[in-house]
């Protein structure tokens, strides 16, 4: 479909009309169409305190962290449920090791977030407590801390090596800084 003629009318689209078109262009990988639609959108201007960009980036990072933790908790639960399903001793051990590795990943993810958030003068779980799923995360962390292997033991489970709280914290800083730059 030739969209060049249609593009002349993009400026008259409402936000509710433009957004689905932007999403469709993005979903099909049509960068040219996406850019045309994006560039034709009227610009809005607003005022916000200078803390807005950082607050918005932290809210996004907190939401992503919660989703990651819930995903890791579900992954551990699924692996744990499979532990006794092994057909032989070797398979059962491999499934057990996978469950332990997933427990370790959950704990390292939490520790990385806490390290990241420790650089702010507030409780690192304050924002997490505002989100649905926090109690699940709290209970899961309490349980998994009791059985998670050490970093050295977990590193033996994978060729790539296990991430550390430091590397996790660095990844959160990268996300927050990248997001904050978009507002400047």
Half-sphere exposure of 80 (CA within 13 A, CB side): 15
1 has pLDDT over 60: no
Q: Could you read off the pLDDT of 39-72 as tens digits, one per residue?
A: 999 998 888 898 898 889 999 999 999 999 999 9
Q: Could you read off the pLDDT of 139-157 as tens digits, one per residue?
A: 999 999 998 877 777 777 6
pTM score of the predicted model? 0.79
Report the b/e string of 8-35 with b at 16+ CB within 10 A: eebeebeeeebeebbeebeeeeeeebbe
Helices (H), the chain: 4-7, 15-27, 31-40, 52-82, 89-117, 126-129, 134-147, 151-155, 165-183
pLDDT given for residue 157 in this prediction: 64
Comparing 1 with 38, the larger pLDDT belongs to: 38
Q: Could you read off the pLDDT of 153-172 as tens digits, one per residue?
A: 777 766 566 788 898 999 99
3 has pLDDT over 70: no
Neighbours of 176 (CB within 10 A): 19
Q: Are 156 and 102 in contact (CB under 8 A)?
A: no
Mean pLDDT of 33-37: 93
Q: How many residues would you count in the chain?
A: 184
Return d(Cα 21, Cα 38) in angstroms, integer: 10
Q: Are 107 and 145 in contact (CB under 8 A)?
A: yes
Summary mean pLDDT of the chain: 87
Q: Are 107 and 133 in contact (CB under 8 A)?
A: no
Q: Could you read off the pLDDT of 109-127 as tens digits, one per residue?
A: 999 999 999 888 888 789 9
Q: Are 100 and 93 in contact (CB under 8 A)?
A: no
């Amino acid at each position: 479909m030739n969209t060049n003629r249609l593009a002349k009318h993009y400026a008259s689209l409402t936000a509710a009309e433009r957004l689905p078109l932007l999403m469709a262009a993005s979903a099909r990988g049509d960068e040219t169409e996406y850019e045309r639609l994006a560039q034709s959108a009227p610009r809005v201007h607003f005022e916000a305190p200078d803390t807005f960009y950082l607050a918005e980036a932290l809210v996004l990072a907190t939401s992503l962290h919660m989703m990651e933790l819930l995903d890791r908790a579900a992954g551990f639960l699924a692996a744990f449920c499979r532990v006794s399903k092994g057909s032989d001793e070797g398979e059962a051990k491999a499934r057990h090791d996978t469950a332990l590795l997933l427990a370790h990943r959950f704990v390292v993810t939490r520790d990385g977030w806490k390290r990241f958030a420790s650089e702010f003068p507030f409780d690192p779980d304050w924002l997490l407590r505002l989100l649905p799923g926090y109690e699940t995360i709290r209970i899961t962390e309490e349980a998994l801390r009791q059985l998670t292997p050490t970093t050295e033991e977990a590193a033996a489970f994978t060729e790539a090596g296990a991430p550390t709280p430091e590397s996790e914290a660095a990844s959160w800083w990268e996300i927050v800084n990248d997001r904050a730059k978009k507002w400047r």
